[in-house]
Structure 1
Amino acid sequence: MVALSFAVPPASSAAELELQGSRLVVSGMLDGTMIKEFTEQLGSGTISTVVFEDSFGGTAEAAGAFADAIRASGVQTEVRGQCMAACAYAFLAGRTHRFGYGLQVNGVLLPVAQRPTAAELAVRWRGDDAHKTLSDFMPTSAKPVEASVPPAKDNARDGARDNWQPDHGVLFTASPTLFGRVYNTYYCDGTQGRDFSKCERLADADPYKLGVLTP
């Protein structure tokens, strides 16, 4: 279960930006505090890749703003470490979206209201559907929350949403080994907290085939 062993920094840390040449590194919660600077950086035309590093959630509004800026600029996105919920939505907006290289374990957790079927997995994060990833989880307030965006109420889907909680989603991981990277996919129902070793492993859920990662 080494693939599910993550170092967890303080969850209250606000978003931070660091420019590394043509790469813009985003870490911390996507809470809206850095949206203006982030948009300006991408608007400069000098950024080729946005790297999300250990971002454990945020608000739907901030995730949408980050995603809009990424999509409009046509940059690539990359995950280094963990990228949860709101971060995952912004990550999917990249022209290409990949895991970073190195010795760290990478993981991206995409929020879901309930355990997806094989058929739902096949299309859930492709094309326009990827843009709807957080539509089921619009917040009841603008307050950032750890690794999640709170579910809104909807008469048609209240049951599924009421069952959703932080750390609930499909988790894609990549772990370095002597023989290359090993990719695994898990369904986490939220009751496991940050102990992702308790999540259910999903078969036939390769992140490249599902469109979560691009070549």
Structure 2
Amino acid sequence: MLALAAGVASSAELELEGNRLLVTGALDGTALTAFKEHLASDKVRTVVFENSTGGNADVAESYAAAIRASGVRTEMIGQCQAACAYAFLAGTEHRFGRGLYINALMIPVASRPQSADLVGRWRGVGVQKTLADLSGPAVADTSLTADLPAAPAAEAPPPDNWRPDHGVLFTSTPTLFGRIYNTYYCDGTQGRDVSKCELLSDADPYKLGVLTP
């Protein structure tokens, strides 16, 4: 059964395996300099994100910029959420890992997307992704702040407006007959239980450009 990762992710760690650079842990900046050096060496052809479930917007953009500049492919294994998803989409090709892994890519969105909203949102080789492409305008959750004074109208939204366990979740599960792909909208109230997320129709990851052939 697929469940979203819980707890605080550890800091990013890098491991070079031939021409594949494995990145595990949160994209929190601790390994960013080494990551850029690896890509600048021209030895890396594929960046593989494995079980990366944390990070912040600024660092995610730095990872994505380095990936775009080097023209490498990206791959993900296990879980890849928020900052990881942003960096993953920057690859010239972006794919799920094969084998017996259950893969789950969580892309933050500000609100429940409609089918028309998804088409083309993450499509296009070399498209310059922005944080707005990932999360859209910040949406305030007033359920816990109804009795608090309203923030000044001119106040800018925080750069990290994605919320834990909230977004569009693309999953890939191995079976005897090949892989099964599903897409869900998770509003964050489901915790780790993905079965409580809403199954989205007409949201094939390949048709949407989230995965490339």
| Alignment TM class, shorter chain as reference | 0.7 to 0.9
Is structure 2 residue 121 aligned with structure 1 residue 119? Answer: no
CA offsets, 1:59-106, max 9 Å, x none?
Answer: 101100000000000000001000001100000000000000110100
Q: Which residue of 1 aligns with 2:168?
A: 170
Q: Which runs of 5+ in 1 are unaligned?
A: 139-152
Amino acid at match of 2:31: M
What TM-score results when the alignment is normalised by the length of structure 1?
0.83
Q: How do residues 14-53 of structure 1 correspond to structure 2 at under 5 angstroms?
A: 14-53=11-50
Q: Is the contact made by 1:86 and 1:134 (CA closer than 8 Å) also made in structure 2?
A: no
> Which has the greater radius of gyration?
2
Shift of 1:196: 1.4
Aligned residue pairs total 195
Amino acid at match of 1:200: E
Q: Which runs of 5+ in 2 are unaligned?
A: 139-151
Q: Is the contact made by 1:17 and 1:25 (CA closer than 8 Å) also made in structure 2?
A: yes
Q: Which residue of 2 aligns with 1:88?
A: 85
Q: Which residue of 1 aligns with 2:130?
A: 131
Amino acid at match of 2:65: D
Q: Is the contact made by 1:121 and 1:205 (CA closer than 8 Å) also made in structure 2?
A: yes
After superposition, the Cα gap between the structure-2 partners of 1:70 and 1:84, relative to the gap in structure 1 and judged at 3 Å, is same
The share of aligned pairs that are identical, in percent, is: 61
Amino acid at match of 2:110: A
Provide the alpha-carbon RMSD of the alignment.
2.5
Shift of 1:166: 1.1
After superposition, the Cα gap between the structure-2 partners of 1:74 and 1:200, relative to the gap in structure 1 and judged at 3 Å, is same
What TM-score results when the alignment is normalised by the length of structure 2?
0.84
Q: Which residue of 1 aligns with 2:212?
A: 214
